[in-house]
């Protein structure tokens, strides 16, 4: 029987090891799977990588907020130039801003605010109490707004829901009339499936019911482009104060029926809370609107 001394070569094993290395060298490395790389799909044959487009998702009901679609539809083009003594700084907030630092805003010169109270007839802002009473607590004049969804229930039904969930008015000199936020639909069809005449009727239904419940004309928040498209640029609501949305150096062309704006949302990227506004008048004009 042959004896292998320590350190002596083993020809058969060396041959097998060499053959295995040669085979492995010929096997291609498998690219990462889609699960490992969700943003790209690799092509093993062409040796290229292509990006898979991401489909935008519809936001959850209740998450809409004032000005949500303005930048996407109307763009952004600068900020107001200079400082007008006859304008008063304000902000608008919703649940996504959480507990707001009202003292910081007050110290920066903000003197009025609007807080989202409700949406449709299915949502109320869980931060409304902190935001509404917090603004009041530091000395601001404050109000509430309702994000309209004309495709879910009638205007009168939503006006009642709004008033019953924080959108009322009191003659304390510190409470602004409620605002109807009527703008781009984040959940579907831009005009909520309504014709221009149908949209005008829905808005009128809301405004009439709000006035009947509170004795005040609600403020209308909108953008000129949406108003033109979805109401046919209707000119019959001039008795209601206009809050125009336009992220630019000027408020631009206003919807038909209004020769001037009462408030102007001019940016969604201002300090502390993002959404900042100008009241078209000094503080005494803000107080006058609150008093009625």
**Catalytic status, residue 277:** no
The single residue of 74, 119, 151, 183 carrying the catalytic annotation is 183
User: HSE on the CB side for 215, CA within 13 Å?
Assistant: 6
The single residue of 92, 119, 275, 277 carrying the catalytic annotation is 92
The single residue of 39, 119, 172, 181 carrying the catalytic annotation is 181
d(C-alpha 24, C-alpha 288), whole Å: 84
**Catalytic status, residue 92:** yes
The answer to whether 84 and 202 are in contact (CB under 8 A) is no
Structural element, H or E, at residue 106: helix 102-107
Beta strand ranges found along the chain (DSSP E): 40-42, 49-51, 76-77, 88-93, 112-119, 123-124, 141-147, 179-181, 219-222, 242-245, 247-248, 263-270, 274-279
CB-based contacts of 162, cutoff 8 Å, min separation 6: 117, 118, 144, 146, 178, 210
Structure tokens at 285: 């004009």
**49 pairs with which residues across the strands?**
42
Mind telling me the catalytic residues? 92, 181, 183
């Amino acid at each position: 029987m042959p004896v292998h001394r320590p350190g002596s070569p083993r020809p058969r094993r060396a041959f097998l090891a060499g053959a295995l290395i040669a085979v492995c060298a010929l096997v291609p490395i498998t690219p990462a799977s889609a699960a490992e790389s969700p943003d790209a799909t690799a092509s093993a044959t062409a040796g290229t990588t292509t990006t898979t487009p991401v489909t935008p998702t519809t936001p959850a009901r209740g998450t809409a907020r004032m000005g949500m679609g303005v930048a996407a539809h109307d763009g952004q083009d600068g900020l107001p130039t200079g400082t007008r003594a006859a304008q008063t700084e304000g902000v608008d907030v919703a649940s996504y801003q959480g507990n707001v630092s009202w003292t910081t805003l007050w110290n920066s010169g903000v003197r009025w605010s609007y807080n989202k109270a409700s949406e449709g007839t299915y949502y109320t802002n869980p931060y409304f109490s902190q935001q509404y009473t917090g603004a009041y607590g530091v000395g601001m004049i404050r109000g509430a707004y309702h994000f309209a969804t004309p495709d879910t229930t009638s205007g009168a039904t939503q006006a009642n829901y709004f008033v019953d969930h924080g959108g009322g008015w009191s003659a304390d000199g510190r409470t602004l009339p409620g605002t109807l936020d009527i703008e781009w639909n984040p959940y579907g069809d831009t005009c909520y499936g309504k014709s221009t005449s149908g949209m005008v009727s829905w808005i009128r239904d809301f405004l009439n019911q709000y006035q009947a419940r509170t004795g005040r004309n609600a403020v209308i928040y909108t953008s000129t482009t949406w108003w033109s498209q979805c109401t046919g640029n209707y000119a019959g609501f001039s008795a209601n104060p206009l809050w125009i949305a336009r992220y630019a150096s000027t408020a631009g062309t206003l919807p038909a029926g209004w020769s001037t704006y009462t408030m102007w949302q001019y940016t969604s990227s201002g300090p502390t809370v993002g959404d900042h506004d100008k009241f078209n008048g000094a503080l005494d004009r803000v107080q006058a609107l609150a008093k009625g």
